[in-house]
Chain A
Amino acid sequence: MAEKTYVADIDRSMYDFRYDEKDAYRIEEGLSPEIVEQISKEKNDPQWMHDFRMKSLEIYNHTQMPDWGPSIEGLNMKNIATYVRPNTKMANDWDSVPEEIKDTFERLGIPQAERKSLAGVGAQYDSELVYHNVQDFAEKLGVVYSDIESALHGPYADMIREHFMKLVPPTDHKFAALHGAVWSGGSFVYVPEGVHLEIPLQSYFRLNAKGAGQFEHTLIIVEDNAYLHFIEGCSAPKYNVANLHAGCVELFVGKNSTIRYSTIENWSKNMYNLNTKRAKVEEGGKIEWVSGSFGSHVSYLYPMSVLAGRGASSEFTGVTFAGKGQNLDTGCKVVHNAPDTTSVVNTRSISKGGGISTFRSAVVINPQAKNSKSSTSCQSLMLDSESRSDTIPAMDVKTQQADVGHEAKIGRISDEAVFYLMSRGLPEDDARALIVSGFADNVGKELPLEYAVEMNNLIRLEMKGTNG
């Protein structure tokens, strides 16, 4: 019988450090109209946003918990503080950020990345952005990259009101309603017509507070004939109580424009990651999702693409690595609402150490989406028999004039491939580790080099194993 290679869990030690909530303002735990009122007051909401929050809370209270995915019984909203504000104002230079917070982001490599390869950075600590800056050249192109609260009161206030939670309405599901009630932080990006921002923007979300929730809102509007690459990162130290992330991302892709939205998610293993992401793509536009899910205790994450204009397209490239104590339910949704639209889905998932990985998807081709094409490929790797890997892809095709294909495979590391590599001189350990790391390369090759390296830190470098 072949011996097995031990594949290590992802090393989260670089993310697992914490500071006391020194001088932070922390709202009482739980969810009530009084708490939502208080958050609205703290945020200095305009009246419409205050009313929106209260309406969302009402929807939350009347909406059922999802029962089709991983259990979220360990999440009790009575124990979650929905707003924790660090004792600092947002700065646009790192020297003005309090030492401990600055140290946090330096250890995560954010200022260094900003200097080397980013056009702008937003850094959120608990419920508020503590740093936000956009490079001069991007500003000169007319790119707006700000915290969303400032945008609510500035020249883009009407644009925010017109778009905020219009793609993901609070009625979408229970945690969209929760987000509508208690959202705080996040970014607003506006890219004018014809602007190609070749260098990415990045937001990084760090949840430091124990027993807290993070509910940032990202709203990106890219006008016609433009391009944006936006990178999102997130992490948290591990606590022995549940934390919650229920963010929301809304992307509006103009005619013949492209947004590439890359995420490396590495929440700690006490995190319930119930995040919602959605893009609406106009004629000839394209949304590219690149998604790496490595962290959290439980994840529900399915970026959705609504292909609204003729010739719009979407690509979803994802990898999920579920280790011990993790139940990661990830995938995507695509709705073809216009003629000549195309979608491509390409995912990999790895389960080990009792981890559960589920690929869940939906491709809907509506009657008006004539001549649409959709292709889905998902592959799953089981590294032991304590783990679980499921694929649940749904296809709903409502027009004859469409071509829809799907293929999926679940299996183990191929003995033949290991034999081949060994015949080329690799030890068995290295051969197996190489195969496992190569399995996730669909995402790695889509990321900028620096982030691919980070992902390799998360997977490949941890796969040096021992037989046993």
Chain B
Amino acid sequence: MNMTLNRLPSITWYWLKMNNGSLEGVDPAGEVSVKEEIPSQITAETLRLEDLPEQATGMGKDMTALVRTSGVPVHSYATAENQQADGVLRLGYAFQHEARSVNAVSLRAAKHSSLTVVQDFSSVRDAEGFAAAQTRYLVEEGAVLKLIQIERLGSGYTFLNDIGGRVENSGRVELIHLVLDGGHTYLGVQTDLAGYKSALKADIGYRVGGDHTLDINYFANHTGKKTTCDINARGVLRDHARKVFRGTIDLKKGSSGSVGNEKEDVLMMDDTVRNQTLPVILCTEEDVVGNHGATIGRLDESVLFYLQSRGMDREAVYEMMADARVASVVHLIEDGRTRAEVERYLGGISDSNEE
């Protein structure tokens, strides 16, 4: 099938070629088996997509159609009310060379519970293939969901990572995405901040090199009163990499007292990269605040000068600052095991799924 992905909620000029991504000839064949580590307090079951409530996702309708037509089951994980899970739900996806897979996950943090999930998408370094994962979540009243996603796929992989969720009264979702490797990566996230004082905190760290691409669509949909979102993206582009970041804060009528913040900081390491950034604020409510900011390009000259005066050469300074951007997101991961694994990977040692 041909897919339109990550379409901007409010499109702009076509000549910019930034309104959406697209893929042709997508033809998946079943799901990849998931390596699960499920803490005892978390209930796991298998559902059908039809069993789940309607939920828009960041990547859009074509992605949901792909999940539906592929017929894969939805792996569902939930906490019980008032339960603070004492462990981390770990879901490992090891994609094989030349595989074509679709996976679907549902997460539910019941009232006043907390749930931490790590999704680790990996393959061998040079693997080729296609993978799609859709993750839906529901954060009920007073609950907290922490979702950490790590992407380290082969340079020949096309990966669609789609998320859609809803946060109810006083609920909070914290999302961390680390895009460390991959060929052509699409990340679509929609969070419906529907409940009073519901909150989203999102941190995205990426490094894109070679002739790889990264296409992001992040959408914070504020409908509840006094909702907040903080979206921070930090990344590094090298070689001939190309990246699109579409970030939308939609402060809908009725979302009075809400605040939306969005920021992107892009370091371009080579003169052959291309960065496209489209930070959008849509607003139909008076009593709200929306902010966005972006800085794109090279390092600040004064920073460069200072570090060079301390004996570092220009290239070393850039490498250090590039590492720092990704590391600043890695350090937000509270789970020590995951953080250590990512740091090992970034240091050039991978202990998962090596052949």
Nearest Cβ on chain B to A389's Cβ, whole angstroms? 5
Q: Does A393 sit within 8 A of B, measured CB to CB?
A: yes
Chain B 221-238 per-residue mask, 1 if CB under 8 angstroms from chain A, else 0 = 000000000000000000
Q: Which of A396, A401, A402 has the most CB of B within 10 A?
A: A396
Contact B281 A400 (CB under 8 A): no
Please name the 3 residue pairs, one residue from A and one from B, whose CB atoms are nearest each other, closest first.
A400-B268, A410-B290, A404-B296
Q: Does A367 sit within 8 A of B, measured CB to CB?
A: yes
Contact A403 B297 (CB under 8 A): yes
Contact B282 A397 (CB under 8 A): no
Chain A 53-82 per-residue mask, 1 if CB under 8 angstroms from chain B, else 0 = 000000000000001100000000000000
Chain B: residues with Cβ within 8 Å of the partner, total of: 42
Q: Does A274 sit within 8 A of B, measured CB to CB?
A: no
- Of A280-288, A307-315, A377-385, which stretch is located at the interface? A377-385
Contact B288 A410 (CB under 8 A): yes
Nearest Cβ on chain A to B149's Cβ, whole angstroms? 26
A-chain residues with CB within 8 Å of residue B292 when the two chains form the complex: 391, 406-408
Contact A408 B253 (CB under 8 A): no
**10 pairs, A vs B, C-beta closer than 8 Å:** A68-B14, A362-B16, A382-B283, A397-B275, A399-B268, A405-B293, A405-B294, A406-B277, A407-B291, A411-B288
Chain A 341-385 per-residue mask, 1 if CB under 8 angstroms from chain B, else 0 = 000000000000000000010101001000000000000101111
Contact B296 A392 (CB under 8 A): no
Q: Closest residue of chain B to A302, judged by CB?
A: B13
Q: Does A89 sit within 8 A of B, measured CB to CB?
A: no
Q: Does A398 sit within 8 A of B, measured CB to CB?
A: yes
Residues of chain A from 388 to 428 with CB closer than 8 A to chain B in the complex: 388-412
> Considering the chains assembled together, what is the distance between the CA atoms of A407 and B276 in angstroms?
15
Contact A410 B289 (CB under 8 A): yes
Known A393-B278, A403-B298: A68·B13 in contact at CB below 8 Å: yes
> Considering the chains assembled together, what is the distance between the CA atoms of A364 and B297 in angstroms?
13
Q: Closest residue of chain B to A67, judged by CB?
A: B11
B-chain residues with CB within 8 Å of residue A367 when the two chains form the complex: 271
- The count of A-to-B residue pairs whose CB atoms sit within 8 angstroms is 136
B-chain residues with CB within 8 Å of residue A410 when the two chains form the complex: 251, 281, 283, 288-291
Contact A396 B16 (CB under 8 A): yes
Q: Does B269 sit within 8 A of A, measured CB to CB?
A: yes
Contact A394 B12 (CB under 8 A): yes
Q: Does B71 sit within 8 A of A, measured CB to CB?
A: no
Nearest Cβ on chain A to B100's Cβ, whole angstroms? 32
B-chain residues with CB within 8 Å of residue A412 when the two chains form the complex: 286-289
Contact B285 A385 (CB under 8 A): yes
B-chain residues with CB within 8 Å of residue A68 when the two chains form the complex: 11-14, 19
Nearest Cβ on chain B to A439's Cβ, whole angstroms? 15
> Considering the chains assembled together, what is the distance between the CA atoms of A24 and B298 in angstroms?
60
B-chain residues with CB within 8 Å of residue A397 when the two chains form the complex: 266, 268, 274-277, 296-297
A362's contact among B10, B13, B279, B282, by CB below 8 Å, is which? B13
Q: Closest residue of chain A to B12, judged by CB?
A: A392
> Considering the chains assembled together, what is the distance between the CA atoms of A68 and B266 in angstroms?
27
Contact B282 A390 (CB under 8 A): yes
A-chain residues with CB within 8 Å of residue B18 when the two chains form the complex: 394, 396
Contact B281 A390 (CB under 8 A): yes
Contact B281 A405 (CB under 8 A): no
Nearest Cβ on chain B to A302's Cβ, whole angstroms? 9
A-chain residues with CB within 8 Å of residue B278 when the two chains form the complex: 392-395
Instruction: Taking A397-B277, A400-B271 as given, write out 20 further A-B residue pairs in contact, using a Cβ cutoff of 8 Å, ordered by the A residue number.
Output: A360-B13, A382-B288, A390-B281, A391-B292, A392-B12, A393-B278, A394-B276, A395-B275, A395-B276, A396-B16, A396-B275, A397-B276, A400-B298, A403-B296, A406-B295, A407-B294, A409-B290, A410-B281, A411-B289, A412-B286
B-chain residues with CB within 8 Å of residue A411 when the two chains form the complex: 288-290
Chain A: residues with Cβ within 8 Å of the partner, total of: 37
Residues of A within 8 A of B (CB): 67-68, 360, 362, 364, 367, 380, 382-385, 387-412
Nearest Cβ on chain A to B21's Cβ, whole angstroms? 15
A-chain residues with CB within 8 Å of residue B277 when the two chains form the complex: 394-395, 397, 406
Known A385-B253, A407-B292: A402·B286 in contact at CB below 8 Å: no
Nearest Cβ on chain A to B164's Cβ, whole angstroms? 22
Q: Closest residue of chain A to B249, judged by CB?
A: A410
> Considering the chains assembled together, what is the distance between the CA atoms of A70 and B265 in angstroms?
31
Nearest Cβ on chain A to B351's Cβ, whole angstroms? 34
Contact A399 B290 (CB under 8 A): no
Q: Does B284 sit within 8 A of A, measured CB to CB?
A: yes
A-chain residues with CB within 8 Å of residue B251 when the two chains form the complex: 410
Contact B269 A400 (CB under 8 A): yes
B-chain residues with CB within 8 Å of residue A390 when the two chains form the complex: 10, 280-283
Q: Does B273 sit within 8 A of A, measured CB to CB?
A: yes
Known A398-B274, A399-B271: A404·B297 in contact at CB below 8 Å: yes
Q: Does B270 sit within 8 A of A, measured CB to CB?
A: yes
Q: Closest residue of chain B to A356, judged by CB?
A: B284
Q: Closest residue of chain B to A399, judged by CB?
A: B271
Q: Closest residue of chain A to B300, judged by CB?
A: A403
A391's contact among B276, B281, B284, B288, by CB below 8 Å, is which? B281
A400's contact among B270, B286, B287, B288, by CB below 8 Å, is which? B270
B-chain residues with CB within 8 Å of residue A387 when the two chains form the complex: 284, 286
> Considering the chains assembled together, what is the distance between the CA atoms of A408 and B261 in angstroms?
10
A-chain residues with CB within 8 Å of residue B295 when the two chains form the complex: 403-406
Known A360-B12, A390-B283: A406·B274 in contact at CB below 8 Å: no
A-chain residues with CB within 8 Å of residue B253 when the two chains form the complex: 385
Contact B287 A406 (CB under 8 A): no
A-chain residues with CB within 8 Å of residue B280 when the two chains form the complex: 390-393
B-chain residues with CB within 8 Å of residue A383 when the two chains form the complex: 286
> Considering the chains assembled together, what is the distance between the CA atoms of A238 and B297 in angstroms?
48
Q: Closest residue of chain A to B259, judged by CB?
A: A411
A380's contact among B11, B12, B283, by CB below 8 Å, is which? B283
Nearest Cβ on chain B to A215's Cβ, whole angstroms? 22
> Considering the chains assembled together, what is the distance between the CA atoms of A380 and B289 in angstroms?
10
Contact A396 B294 (CB under 8 A): no
Known A68-B11, A382-B286, A397-B296: A408·B279 in contact at CB below 8 Å: yes
A393's contact among B273, B279, B298, by CB below 8 Å, is which? B279
Nearest Cβ on chain A to B227's Cβ, whole angstroms? 15
B-chain residues with CB within 8 Å of residue A395 when the two chains form the complex: 275-278, 294, 296
Q: Closest residue of chain B to A415, judged by CB?
A: B287
Q: Closest residue of chain A to B250, judged by CB?
A: A390
Nearest Cβ on chain A to B145's Cβ, whole angstroms? 28
Nearest Cβ on chain A to B322's Cβ, whole angstroms? 12
> Considering the chains assembled together, what is the distance between the CA atoms of A389 and B249 in angstroms?
12
Contact A400 B276 (CB under 8 A): no
> Considering the chains assembled together, what is the distance between the CA atoms of A398 and B281 in angstroms?
24
> Considering the chains assembled together, what is the distance between the CA atoms of A402 and B298 in angstroms?
6
Contact B279 A402 (CB under 8 A): no
Known A382-B286, A384-B286, A410-B290: A402·B16 in contact at CB below 8 Å: no
B-chain residues with CB within 8 Å of residue A393 when the two chains form the complex: 278-280
> Considering the chains assembled together, what is the distance between the CA atoms of A364 and B18 in angstroms?
12
Chain B 1-45 per-residue mask, 1 if CB under 8 angstroms from chain A, else 0 = 000000000111110101100000000000000000000000000
> Considering the chains assembled together, what is the distance between the CA atoms of A394 and B292 in angstroms?
12
